[in-house]
A and B are shown apart, each in its own frame.
Chain A
């Protein structure tokens, strides 16, 4: 499992209200949520993002309200992986539970700029900045988390496990 794309870079303390404003929470439609993703701090994100792109941010990404809509909106926008110096705890859980790969890596967060071309090897945790010719080491996911993300999240992977029994 790998990711390869162009980076959309943000700063510290990006909260879930910014990722998906509360005024859109009445919708459960993933595409509709995605169409408002980041709009309060980056109006053109949704027009620029291409499937497979990456999001990189500073510290405490996903802080604030525990809404699961936030990682859903990011994933549905086409983003394949979020890298941050660190994440707020409940966002971290929610992202993995809905199948959005996220990696904590302060070095990558500091070294990567907006528009850089980056690849991520989820098996080794190695993040390569092709533009800057740098690599950064993140803690790789253990197999069960990788499997959960590959299957599309917590519920989907549990169901698959049940079915295999």
Chain B
């Protein structure tokens, strides 16, 4: 029986010729990730078990992104604990305020993840790196603590759903609309335990940023990971970032998938996930009644330069509707700087938005833009659960940067065409 791309990467890291779905394996890890919330718990586990060294100080990444710049004393204390640990074990990839970006944008940007690698992170959106043809998945803090010591972990080999993409995206439609459409089709547990393996001629039509957004939200369909084949788009992104040898794995021609979902990219339209589940996907065209108070453009899902460009294209020469607050958060320092060079920052400021330094901030209702009872936000983040961005009676509508920007201008949920064709 042929193997999927994920199964081949896992087999290689387990030192086996073949693995099959359901099998439990022990696999070597190329990178172990934690953030300012999960790392302190992992450090406690690590220290109470009495470990004296980490498996490899170059293969651990600690990213202080959730509540930073430290929003309060508790956040400051957590970051301090991480900083002390990083110093003690000479952790190369410790990202503190000033160097930090949102972990899942930062690691690919800095070349810390390469195709064919196996990565775990104590953060559920670690599945993002499947966009580069790597296997990556989220785990708990105990897993992270153990992996920092051992450099390996156990996995149950997942079966896969094939998502077969054809066609080409229409104007204003992006990877976010594709993944929201897919989650709408299969539901929030539609891919439980499984890999989402993207295939087909449509893959080549998607930019690396579209792919990052799509894999980022694989977890919102319950998937263990999402993964794209390695092609010229991947190579162009990885070149100049990754300076170590890497391997492009490809699924066997006779790889077995539990089922196949077909998506014609040309038929995907701008899509919004209504409260309070990412599977509540509806057309952005039917949002005229949904008046909004805030838009957030950023996060590990849509904080890339391409996302900033999409928002800037809509906001250029326009202004947010009266009463709408706009919060724009480039995901990394590099993207932040590029926004200034490209003139996006001026466009955002002229439109009446604030532009923040990189942070998770409002995405998890942490800081920098929490909502009050009854308020509504169109957000480019990945979760719209009850209370995710603040008060339990607030509402989050998940959308692409183009839809969020257009909705901010219109004052209600809308398709970008409504604003641009005016």
What is the interface of chain A, defined by CB distance below 8 A to chain B? 60, 63, 66, 68, 86, 88-90, 92-94, 96-98, 139, 141-142, 144-145, 148, 154-156, 158-159, 161-162
Contacts and interface: CB of A to CB of B under 8 A. Distances in A.
Given A60-B192, A89-B192, A144 B154 contact: yes
A94 B48 CA distance: 18
Given A142-B24, A158-B146, A66 B140 contact: yes
Contacts of A142: 23-25
Contact of B146 (A139, A144, A155): A155
Contacts of A139: 22
B140 A97 contact: yes
5 contacts: A68-B140, A68-B142, A92-B156, A156-B49, A159-B50
A155 B192 contact: no
Contacts of B291: none
A141 B146 contact: no
A162 to B, nearest CB: 7
A93 B139 contact: yes
A86 B194 CA distance: 13
Contact of B142 (A88, A89, A98, A161): A98
B37 to A, nearest CB: 12
B224 interface: yes
A87 to B, nearest CB: 9
B193 interface: yes
A158 B150 CA distance: 8
A40 B210 CA distance: 43
A6 B88 CA distance: 49
Interface of A is mostly: helix
Contacts of B138: 90
Interface of B is mostly: mixed
B145 interface: yes
B89 interface: no
Nearest to B46: A155
B361 to A, nearest CB: 22
Interface in B217-238: 222, 224
A58 to B, nearest CB: 14
A92 B143 CA distance: 12
Contact of B140 (A88, A90, A145, A148): A90
B386 interface: no
A155 B222 CA distance: 27
Nearest to B26: A144
B142 A97 contact: yes
B246 interface: no
Contacts of A155: 45, 48-49, 142, 145-146
A162 B146 CA distance: 12
B149 A154 contact: no
| Interface size grouping (class) on chain B | 20 to 34
Contacts of B141: 68
Contacts of B51: 158-159, 162
Nearest to A155: B49
A88 B154 contact: no
A71 to B, nearest CB: 11
B262 interface: no
A77 B138 CA distance: 28
B189 interface: yes
A35 B141 CA distance: 25
B123 to A, nearest CB: 11
A89 B193 contact: yes
A93 B140 contact: yes
B154 A96 contact: yes
Given A145-B154, A158-B149, A158-B150, A94 B49 contact: no
B26 A154 contact: no
A128 to B, nearest CB: 22
A86 B193 CA distance: 10
A93 B138 CA distance: 11
Interface string B141-177: 1110110011000101000000000000000000000
A66 B38 CA distance: 12
A49 to B, nearest CB: 25
- A-B complex: 5 closest residue pairs judged by Cβ atoms: A155-B49, A154-B146, A159-B49, A97-B142, A142-B24
Contacts of B189: 60, 63
Q: Which of B22, B150, B154 has the most CB of A within 10 A?
A: B154
Given A142-B25, A158-B149, 19 more contacts: A60-B192, A63-B189, A89-B192, A89-B193, A89-B222, A90-B138, A90-B140, A93-B143, A97-B140, A97-B146, A142-B23, A144-B24, A144-B154, A154-B142, A154-B143, A154-B146, A155-B146, A159-B51, A162-B149
Interface string B392-403: 000000000000
A88 B139 CA distance: 13
A105 B413 CA distance: 46
A22 to B, nearest CB: 13
A159 B49 CA distance: 6
Contacts of B150: 158, 161
A31 to B, nearest CB: 19
Interface string B306-344: 000000000000000000000000000000000000000
Q: Which of B141, B193, B224 has the most CB of A within 10 A?
A: B193
Contacts of A97: 140, 142-143, 146
